[in-house]
Amino acid sequence: MKVSTERIENSQIVLEVEADPDELERSMEGAYHSLVNRAEVPGFRRGKAPREMLERHIGREALFGEALDRLIPKLLSQAIEDQGIEAIARPEIEITQTDPVTFKATVSVPPTVELGNYKEISIAPETVEVGEEDVNKVFDQLRYQHAIWEPVERPVKSSDLVTIDVTGNVEENTLLDRKDLQFQVLQGLPFPVPGFAENIEGLEKGQDKEFSISLPADYEVSELAGKECQFKVHVNEVKEIKLPELNDEFVKSIGQGIETLDALTENITSNLRVMSEEGASRRHEEKIINAVAEISRVEFPPVLIEHEIDRLIAAHERELSQNKMSLEDYLKSREKSNEELREELRPLAIRQVTGSLVLSKVTESEEITVTDKEIDEEVAEMVQSAGEQVEEVRKIFQNEVTRKSLENVLITRKTIKRLVEIASGGEEATTETGTAESTSGENEAIAQTDVAESASGEDEATVEKDTAESTSGENEAIAQTDVAESASGEDEATAEKG
């Protein structure tokens, strides 16, 4: 065979391979012996038909196709070995001509990372402050959670809770038909359509009203977008909210073991400070890793992005399954195709693969390792907090693949902490920093991009769940993907309580 190579961008090599005639003939003969034992050729016992009769019976194209299926993988494997190429994924093959047999194979090879001078990076952490306004927001939420609704005899005002009978029709299509629907009247609420809540204001108990609203141009049912919807509403009841007074008695009624308002204030302030510090720490880490990536040269094959998208979707599927929902149902509810979801996740996947490769190179540069003792200590902490699943967790981490996955996570923690030390002015600090108390969920997730794929989903889920102290970046990303489209499910839930 004849072989030529060309290195192209994104860590790929294109092989052009031309088969020798005798190689093709040997493959044709092998294809004949394979097919003749499977084909029923009239006038011959199975396996006894001459090659010419088999070709006449099944067609030369079928025999030739079988020969190529045998020949191309063999020649490709030999070419990769002869050229000393380290392939990291299944090559993409294109047959360019059949006489002589010639094909191109695009081979993905290991990424290349050239770090910039990351030891000169200086990024100060955020200053965390918890103000009175932040505490008051939590108090407001608590009061709303424990509020009561009292019937009133007056016209409907904004924020009231009304019980209504309502129908909504667009031409021959019924958009809404509900009896005793509980609906909170909130300005700008998109449910059932924008402008509906404003039409309820001013009505009184027992009153009827008919009105029409044009459906928005981006309405979820595209064939109804822009059309007029005719509504009929009957008000059965009007209620207003009564918020509890903020005092010691209210605090005791919450049932959290806190007795006074001062104690609750201190508790809320402390919790808010911890949450703010964790969030600031994650953002600080992400800024540092992004800064290292920006001054580094990172090149990798597209197949790594596709694998990362697959991993993100698989993680989302696991999350959906916990809520008894399939990915197919999720996509239908968002009116998206699988390809649209993949494209939305692509920027995140690129960022995560890049971050993973950069972190891996920093790990190598700083000679960061994890000992068996550190892994055992981490497993012991997981077992201790596993509750009734102690034996299950202990068994999972007896698996070497899972332990290796955990080792990768711990190494990433150390690497991130080392970068934080450098960027915060602690360049001379020892690299034996131990496990980080708080790590970026997204960065810990990207570190697992290349974790052994043979680990079971359950094992990987356990590792991710118990080692990442912050929210997983992959889940945040998928959640953010659909925020703009869902128009706040919280508002819709508030609107429709019944």
The per-residue pLDDT for range 134-167, each reduced to its tens digit, is 999 999 999 999 999 999 999 999 999 999 999 9
Residue-wise pLDDT tens digits, 227-273 = 999 999 999 999 999 999 999 999 999 888 899 999 999 999 999 99
Please tell me the predicted confidence (pLDDT) of residue 426.
63
Whether residue 101 contacts residue 18, with contact meaning beta carbons closer than 8 Å, is answered with yes
In the structure encoding, which two tokens stand for residue 125, read together? 């952490």
Q: What is the mean pLDDT of residues 88-101?
A: 94
Please tell me the predicted confidence (pLDDT) of residue 278.
96
| Measured distance CA(355)–CA(351) in Å, rounded | 6
Cis peptide before 192 (omega within 30 of 0): yes
Among 205-219, 292-306, 375-389, 442-456, the least confident range:
442-456
Is the model more confident about 189 or about 201? 201
| Measured distance CA(318)–CA(224) in Å, rounded | 34
Among 96-100, 351-355, 389-393, the least confident range:
389-393
Q: What are phi and psi of 116, to 5 degrees?
A: -80, -175
Report which listed range, 41-45, 70-74, 252-256, is most confident.
70-74
Q: Report which of 161, 238, 150, 204 is spatially closest to residue 494, judged by C-alpha positions.
A: 161
Among 224-238, 292-306, 395-409, 432-446, the least confident range:
432-446
User: Which pLDDT band, with edges at 50, 70 and 90, does 218 fall under?
Assistant: confident
Residue-wise pLDDT tens digits, 325-364 = 999 989 988 888 999 999 999 999 999 999 999 999 999 9
Adjacency order of strands within the sheet including 92-98 = 2-8, 12-18, 101-108, 92-98
In the structure encoding, which two tokens stand for residue 380, read together? 């012991």
Which residue's entry shows tokens 């960061």? 368
Mean of pLDDT over the chain: 85
Please tell me the predicted confidence (pLDDT) of residue 222.
82
User: Which pLDDT band, with edges at 50, 70 and 90, does 470 fall under?
Assistant: very low
| Measured distance CA(23)–CA(21) in Å, rounded | 5
In the structure encoding, which two tokens stand for residue 287, read together? 């800024």
Contacts of 308 (CB under 8 A, 6+ apart): 349, 352, 353, 449
Whether the per-residue pLDDT at 487 is higher than 60: the answer is: no
| Measured distance CA(327)–CA(324) in Å, rounded | 10
Whether the per-residue pLDDT at 431 is higher than 70: the answer is: no
Is the model more confident about 108 or about 334? 108
Per-residue exposure over 64-92, b if at least 16 CB sit within 10 Å of its own CB, e if not: bebbbebbbeebbeebbeeeebebbeebe
Whether the per-residue pLDDT at 33 is higher than 50: the answer is: yes
Please tell me the predicted confidence (pLDDT) of residue 448.
37
Q: What percent of the chain shows pLDDT beyond 70? A: 85
Q: What percent of the chain shows pLDDT beyond 90? A: 71
Q: What is the mean pLDDT of residues 286-299?
A: 95
Alpha carbon 373 to chain centroid, angstroms: 32
Please tell me the predicted confidence (pLDDT) of residue 256.
81
| Measured distance CA(5)–CA(16) in Å, rounded | 6
One-letter amino acid of 148 = I
Per-residue exposure over 434-470, b if at least 16 CB sit within 10 Å of its own CB, e if not: ebbebbbbbbbbbbbbbbeeebeeebbbbbbebbbeb
Please tell me the predicted confidence (pLDDT) of residue 18.
95
Is the model more confident about 188 or about 482? 188
Among 76-85, 401-410, 488-497, the least confident range:
488-497
Whether the per-residue pLDDT at 454 is higher than 60: the answer is: no
Cis peptide before 100 (omega within 30 of 0): yes
| Measured distance CA(466)–CA(385) in Å, rounded | 9
User: Which pLDDT band, with edges at 50, 70 and 90, does 408 fall under?
Assistant: very high
Please tell me the predicted confidence (pLDDT) of residue 442.
41
Q: What is the mean pLDDT of residues 95-116?
A: 95
Q: What is the mean pLDDT of residues 357-379?
A: 95
Whether the per-residue pLDDT at 381 is higher than 50: the answer is: yes
| Measured distance CA(466)–CA(448) in Å, rounded | 14
Global confidence as pTM: 0.67
Contacts of 198 (CB under 8 A, 6+ apart): 187
Domains of the chain: residue spans and CATH: 2-110 (3.30.70.1050), 148-242 (3.10.50.40), 270-486 (no CATH)
Contacts of 285 (CB under 8 A, 6+ apart): 416, 419, 420, 439, 440, 443
Whether the per-residue pLDDT at 495 is higher than 60: the answer is: no
